[in-house]
């Protein structure tokens, strides 16, 4: 279904786990060349090795997206090694789970640095190359990018900011051939939930939700690739996410009460009932 992406050159940040890893696998299967970026070189090399049976070019570039220079190096390396860039998927991200009055500001800053500034650095470096190919710029945002969640204030702030940034980029460059996609997956079973920051900045190391009822990273990855293929402006998956999106337009207070009730009932919830 996404064969139009065959032989395209695609950069994926946050590629070592979760949706990023699933994107890498899906891209390799359809014959796209991929540049994999994440902080852990060991994990990147392991992923590259697992994809060695596919006849595609796979480049690994260890990258901390909070570093502007490393983001510039990622994009420059991709263009140098592959000759062009067709797609940049800004997938790197971290979440949090803590009450706002208890969370340390360093945690909020870290989330902004990764989610917003990482996407900013990579996108600014890549846009000149994407304009040459009339390629696609992708922000992997979230349902939380249009409806905040209690206990996720910093994460919601970063995703709201991402949505505003990429909407502006879309309007600024659409007449020059750049496709900009804001992808908003619903609740997804992935490592981002396991690595979510607690109030003191440590990882929560478990998930309070029933992941068997969430979307899989693999299904989300295919949805993103299909949205890139179709050059969509916005992608929203998951019945729960769609319900939140539409009901929030007409019944915002009802939605807020329901969300508060669900999150307050989570095991060890930081939100008081």
Helix (H, G, I), strand (E, B) or coil at 13: strand
121, 129, 155, 245: the active-site residue: 155
Check: CB of residue 180 under 8 Å from CB of residue 233: yes
**DSSP secondary structure string for all residues of 95-114:** -B-S-TTTS-HHHHHHHIII
List beta partners, residue 139.
Answer: 90, 182
Distances in Å between the Cα of 198 and the Cα atoms of 145, 190, 207 are 20, 17, 12
Is residue 226 packed enough to be buried (19+ CB in 10 Å), middle (13-18) or exposed (0-12)?
middle
Nearest to 150 by CA among 271, 272, 241: 271
Task: Give the integer Cα–Cα distance in Å for 94 and 155.
Answer: 8
Task: Give the integer Cα–Cα distance in Å for 52 and 136.
Answer: 26
Check: CB of residue 186 under 8 Å from CB of residue 237: yes
Known catalytic membership, residue 155 = yes
Phi-psi region of 140 (alpha: psi -120 to 50; beta: other; left: phi over 0): beta
Q: β-strands 188-189, 215-216: how paired? A: parallel
Catalytic residues: 155
């Amino acid at each position: 279904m996404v064969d139009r992406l065959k032989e395209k050159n695609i950069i994926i940040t946050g590629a070592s786990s979760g949706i990023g890893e699933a994107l890498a696998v899906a891209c390799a299967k359809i014959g796209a060349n991929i540049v994999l970026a994440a902080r852990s070189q060991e994990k990147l090399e392991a992923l590259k090795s697992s994809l060695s049976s596919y006849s595609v070019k796979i480049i690994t570039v260890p990258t901390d997206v909070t570093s502007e220079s490393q983001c510039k190096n990622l994009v420059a390396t991709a263009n140098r090694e592959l000759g062009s860039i067709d797609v940049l998927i800004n997938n790197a991200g971290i979440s949090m789970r803590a009450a706002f009055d208890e969370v340390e500001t360093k945690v909020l800053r870290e989330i902004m640095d990764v989610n917003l500034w990482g996407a900013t650095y990579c996108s600014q470096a890549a846009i000149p190359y994407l304009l040459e190919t009339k390629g696609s710029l992708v922000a992997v945002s979230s349902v939380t990018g249009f409806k905040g969640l209690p206990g996720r204030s910093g994460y919601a702030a970063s995703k709201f900011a991402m949505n505003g940034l990429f909407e502006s980029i879309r309007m600024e460059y659409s007449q020059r051939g750049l496709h900009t996609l804001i992808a908003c997956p619903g609740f997804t079973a992935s490592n981002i939930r396991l690595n979510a920051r607690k109030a003191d900045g440590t990882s929560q190391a478990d998930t309070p939700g029933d992941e068997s009822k969430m979307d899989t990273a693999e299904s989300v990855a295919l949805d993103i690739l299909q949205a890139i293929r179709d050059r969509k402006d916005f992608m929203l998956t998951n019945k729960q996410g769609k319900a939140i999106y539409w009901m929030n337009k007409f019944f915002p207070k009802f939605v807020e009460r329901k969300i508060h009730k669900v999150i307050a009932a989570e095991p060890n919830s930081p939100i008081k009932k």
